[in-house]
Amino acid sequence: MGSDKIITLTDQNFENEVKASQIPILVDFWAEWCAPCRMVAPVLDELAEEFDGKVKIGKLNVDQNRSVAAQYGVMSIPTLILFKNGELVEQMVGAQPKENLQKVIQSAL
């Protein structure tokens, strides 16, 4: 389930989808076995709909894509990183309330 607006990120497409993105993108570093990651997933679906066309939302499974996770020093999940113009502008660790994520996204617009 979930929003069809969420982009599945991999080590292979990260450069194109995130670094070259014309609009800000919030990336969720997650894994299947992570309960807090599952808690934040519906919030990300809502944000993907709410900010459609203004901000992209992507999910990167850290078990399957270790090199990008290592590149950004992701030690705990979920880690949510907001990129703007290919640059890291905000990094949050742990499940975040929707309001926090909305504020962070708004600040990048």
**CATH number for 26:** 3.40.30.10
Q: What is the pLDDT of residues 2-11, one digit of tens each?
A: 678 999 999 9
Q: What is the pLDDT of residues 3-62, one digit of tens each?
A: 789 999 999 999 999 999 999 999 999 999 999 999 999 999 999 999 999 999 999 999
Q: Taking the model in full, what pTM does it have? A: 0.95
Residue 103 lies in a domain: no
Residue 106 lies in a domain: no
Question: Which spans in 1-109 are helix H?
Answer: 14, 35-50, 66-71, 98-108
Residue 64 lies in a domain: yes
The sign one gets for the Cα dihedral 8, 29, 11, 85 is: positive
Q: Would residue 37 show up in a list of annotated catalytic residues for this protein? A: yes
Q: How many domains in the chain?
A: 1
Containing structural domain, residue 83: 6-97
Q: Would residue 11 show up in a list of annotated catalytic residues for this protein? A: no
Kindly name the residue from 6, 27, 37, 47 that is annotated as catalytic. Answer: 37
